[in-house]
Amino acid sequence: MNAPQSPDQTKVEQAKLLIDGQWVESRTSEWRDIVNPATQAVLARVPFATAEEVDAAVAAAQRAFLTWRHTPIGARMRIMLKLQALIREHSKRIAQVLSAEQGKTLADAEGDIFRGLEVVEHAASIGTLQMGEFAENVAGGVDTYTLRQPIGVCAGITPFNFPAMIPLWMFPMAIVCGNTFVLKPSEQDPLSTLLLVELAVEAGVPAGVLNVVHGGKAVVDALCTHQDIKAISFVGSTEVGTHVYNLASQHGKRVQSMMGAKNHAVVLPDANRTQTVNALVGAAFGAAGQRCMATSVAVLVGKAREWLPDIKQAASKLSVNAGSEPGTDVGPVVSKRAKERVLSLIESGIREGATLELDGRDVKVPGYEHGNFVGPTLFSGVTTDMQVYTQEIFGPVLVTLEVDTLDEAIALVNANPFGNGTGLFTQSGAAARKFQSEIDVGQVGINIPIPVPVPFFSFTGSRGSKLGDLGPYGKQVVQFYTQTKTVTARWFDDDSINDGVNTTISLR
């Protein structure tokens, strides 16, 4: 197998590349350990593919595209149906590997897989999603219709925080539209991604239609500049996402780049207090805060500022432990480097004058003394010029700000450069309607803290959180992975009247 079957295996394996339907060992001299963030145990090693290996993967995809693009839609749909069945069958096994390499709780790992599975299920509807349009008799005997055709070889670059969901956002929709794909999983936790790719191969994805390469910046740049790749899909940090968008765009590719965030939850005093507090705490500290849609800022409006003790009490009750342990609420962050960054930003909040209401810096987890743990951390008295507000912390840290009115809250959220997601907690329909109308953020939740849409809709982050005008799933991604061809046709029979020569641009 190309990824561990369980996180407790004693032999350290080497992650493989998938090129033209074959799992191959890389010939690279550069490797990285895949480390369990709760124990620091080395689970496997991942290669940083050579330039020749990247070229071979792209070449395989280019060859496969010549035939795959003509595969009937029904055949593509049936592969997606088989894939979703296989993912359901193996989800618990994949979740164990995902939890071991990424640190999530088992329940959250299964949720990661399920949200990706929803996209696979939607991909099985491609027969209606990829339909063109038809207009009869637009001029005398003339019909016009459109075809939505695949664009060619596409590539996806995925982040560490969702090693199941994000890859499943990408390659199923791309290949079901008739394209071929080169996937570069996160080098920090690719093992669960590889298990999903194995299932795709088992489901019937032909050789060369889906390929996998591993690596860092050199591999990313090679994909962004390769002459045979037509489109790049990226999810990750703002710094890397901006680089990917600029480099790939300069080389003539379609690009969708989902990047960083600073997601606000605005709390009005008329909201349901218990439900709101629970929602804030779950959205802020779940997955150790390592979600691009995590709630990292609570804006307490008017008397809702009196709820701070409730938030602190609920957060203090969360269990910090290894993701594999029953009852865990908050697992470790993904790496020692990530922990150091989170701790540094907490220190900056203290230094800049915020009040540390709940301190998660010195949390101790018996039996996992070397784990990358940070406990739930809560700040009050935060201002918009502090680093804990201006930077995406990507850890279990919630900062709170206070304003007097909903108008002030809307202005505060709109002044932030990010636009990934926001939420409003209220029982007022008028306030909700005002908020969703005036807020300048692409994804809005009303009494929902993490407003990630289901696959029938499109992920629509905006402003500093997104580059490119089409989202990674839903109807928008079908547009991204296809090109429109318009056909205008007139047919004549033997008895047609000859209208003579027409030297104008008009049809008649």
Please tell me whether residue 155 adopts helix, strand or coil conformation: strand
Q: Phi/psi of residue 21, each to 5°?
A: 85, 0
Residues 6+ apart with CB under 8 A from 252: none
Please give, one letter per residue, the 3-state secondary structure of 338-406.
HHHHHHHHHHHHHHCCCEEEECCCCCCCCCCCCCCCCCCEEEECCCCCCHHHHCCCCCCEEEEEEECCH
Q: Rounded distance, CA 268 to CA 276, Å?
A: 10
Going 247 to 251 to 257 to 262, the CA torsion angle's sign is positive
- Between helices 165-176 and 191-203, what is the axis angle to 10°? 30
Q: Which of the residues 154, 177, 224, 292 is marked catalytic? A: 292
What residues have CB less than 8 Å from 380, skipping those under 6 apart? 308, 354, 355, 357, 400
440: closest CA among 422, 458, 426?
422
| 292: annotated active-site residue | yes
What are the phi and psi torsion angles at 182 (to 5°)? -120, 120
- Determine the 3-state secondary structure of 85 from DSSP: helix
Catalytic machinery residues: 292
